[in-house]
């Protein structure tokens, strides 16, 4: 039982990363019908921006410019990096996707792959090949809950992720921008007839998704403090799987599927050798998709029409 709970906590942590990244995939897909395959790399860029922001804040504190406690530096890092990374997402949309909005979907998909490579190699050119370490902002504290060990970092990661997913949900439920996102998910062709500017909506969606990916990147840096330019590839693909598994365009679905994938991976690793983890875990997910091809909350058919 203790082993199970221990793994459950690990699964929640990994699920948090997948869920936060999957939300960005899902949202962009739901309103623009394209998968932003550069999204995993935006997670990477977010982690690096987080590294830059936190390093700067730590340095300024050390110089005595101001006295910030470490937890506040972390909070500021998350907020400021989310803000900055949202612009990276908006630039990607403006430069890479907007000119191709009426092009075949395959072109847009290829654009995403290319932007991904540009972000990875651009980072490599800028910062060199050495891995960099995320500043250790919070000291790990471990709590023993009857044989189950929980760290303050894990709790923080799960709480922040769930909080952000919930905030996004509220934004989409309650604001007029969110209402427009829901409308676009249903039928984006006629949304301009409501006086809604498509370009602003596209920028907003990319911005929000990228901000969440940045949060995931920083939380990842807190848990696994070594950053490298290719860190976003595998985790990005896995989050993409979560977005599909959740049902294209479903916020709740993407969040749940992200956590589910965390669970499947961790519990497979509990039973089988860890080298077989992804092989078995993704075979299971493939099986789920065979039986539920539209994911958990996806529409069985596209309600969207062309003009």
Q: Is 194 among the residues that bind another protein (CB under 8 A)? A: yes
Choices 118-126, 185-193, 213-221, 265-273; region in contact with another protein by CB under 8 A: 185-193
Residues comprising the chain, all counted: 307
Q: Burial level of 69, CB count in 10 A (0-12/13-18/19+)? A: exposed
Q: How many C-alpha atoms does 203 have within 13 Å on its Cβ side?
A: 10
CA–CA gap between residue 153 and residue 237 (Å, rounded):
25
Choices 15-23, 124-132, 196-204, 232-240; region in contact with another protein by CB under 8 A: 196-204
Q: Give 63 or 303: the residue with its C-beta nearer to another protein.
A: 303
CA–CA gap between residue 294 and residue 46 (Å, rounded):
30
CA–CA gap between residue 119 and residue 48 (Å, rounded):
11
Q: Is residue 36 a contact partner of residue 97, using CB atoms and an 8 Å limit?
A: yes
**What is the widest separation between alpha-carbon atoms in the chain?**
61
Q: Is 192 among the residues that bind another protein (CB under 8 A)? A: yes
Q: Is 107 among the residues that bind another protein (CB under 8 A)? A: no
Contacting another protein (CB under 8 A), which of 189, 226, 279, 287? 189
Choices 9-17, 75-83, 122-130, 187-195; region in contact with another protein by CB under 8 A: 187-195
Q: Is 32 among the residues that bind another protein (CB under 8 A)? A: no
Encode burial over 23-57: b for 16+ CB neighbours within 10 A, e otherwise: bbbbbbbbbbbbbbbbbbbbbbbbbbbbbbbbbeb
Q: Give 191 or 239: the residue with its C-beta nearer to another protein.
A: 191
Q: Is 231 among the residues that bind another protein (CB under 8 A)? A: no
CB of 207 to another protein, least distance (A): 18
CB of 307 to another protein, least distance (A): 6
Token pair of 105 as six digits = 């979907």
Q: Is 300 among the residues that bind another protein (CB under 8 A)? A: no
CA–CA gap between residue 59 and residue 206 (Å, rounded):
31
First to last CA, the chain: 57
Token pair of 66 as six digits = 């101001």
CB of 174 to another protein, least distance (A): 11
Contacting another protein (CB under 8 A), which of 22, 34, 78, 196? 196
Q: Is 303 among the residues that bind another protein (CB under 8 A)? A: yes
Choices 125-133, 190-198, 270-278, 286-294; region in contact with another protein by CB under 8 A: 190-198
Q: Is 182 among the residues that bind another protein (CB under 8 A)? A: yes
Q: Give 105 or 173: the residue with its C-beta nearer to another protein.
A: 173
Q: Give the number of residues in contact with another protein, rule: CB under 8 A.
A: 20
CA–CA gap between residue 233 and residue 125 (Å, rounded):
18
CB of 300 to another protein, least distance (A): 14
CB of 215 to another protein, least distance (A): 27
CB of 22 to another protein, least distance (A): 21
Q: Burial level of 72, CB count in 10 A (0-12/13-18/19+)? A: middle
Contacting another protein (CB under 8 A), which of 183, 252, 270, 280? 183
CA–CA gap between residue 150 and residue 300 (Å, rounded):
40
CA 158 to chain centre: 13
Contacting another protein (CB under 8 A), which of 193, 273, 291, 301? 193
Sites of contact with another protein (CB under 8 A): 176, 179-180, 182-183, 185-187, 189-190, 192-198, 303, 305, 307
């Amino acid at each position: 039982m203790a082993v199970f709970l221990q793994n459950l906590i690990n699964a929640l942590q990994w699920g948090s990363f997948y869920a936060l990244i999957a939300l960005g995939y899902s949202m962009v897909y739901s309103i623009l019908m394209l998968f932003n395959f550069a999204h995993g790399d935006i997670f990477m860029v977010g982690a690096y921006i987080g590294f830059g922001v936190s390093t700067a804040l730590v340095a300024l504190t050390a110089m005595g410019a101001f006295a910030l406690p470490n937890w506040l530096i972390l909070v500021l890092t998350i907020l400021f990096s989310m803000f900055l990374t949202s612009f990276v997402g908006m630039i990607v949309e403006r430069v890479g996707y907007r000119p191709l909005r009426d092009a075949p979907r395959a072109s847009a998909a290829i654009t995403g792959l290319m932007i991904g490579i540009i972000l990875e190699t651009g980072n490599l050119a800028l910062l060199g090949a050495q891995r960099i370490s995320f500043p250790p902002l919070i000291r790990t504290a471990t709590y023993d809950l009857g044989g189950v060990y929980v760290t303050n970092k894990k709790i923080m990661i799960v709480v922040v992720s769930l909080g952000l997913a919930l905030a996004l949900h509220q934004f989409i439920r309650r604001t007029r921008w969110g209402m427009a996102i829901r409308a676009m998910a249903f039928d984006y062709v006629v949304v301009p007839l409501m006086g809604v500017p498509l370009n602003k909506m596209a920028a907003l969606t990319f911005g929000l998704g990228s901000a969440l990916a940045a949060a995931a990147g920083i939380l990842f840096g807190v848990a696994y403090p070594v950053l490298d330019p290719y860190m976003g590839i595998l985790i990005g693909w896995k989050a993409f799987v979560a977005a599909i598994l959740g049902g294209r365009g479903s916020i709740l679905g993407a969040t749940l599927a992200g956590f589910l994938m965390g669970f499947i991976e961790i519990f497979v690793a509990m039973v089988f050798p860890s080298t077989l983890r992804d092989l078995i875990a993704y075979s299971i997910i493939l099986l789920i998709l065979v039986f539920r091809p539209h994911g958990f909350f996806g529409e069985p058919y596209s309600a969207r029409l062309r003009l």
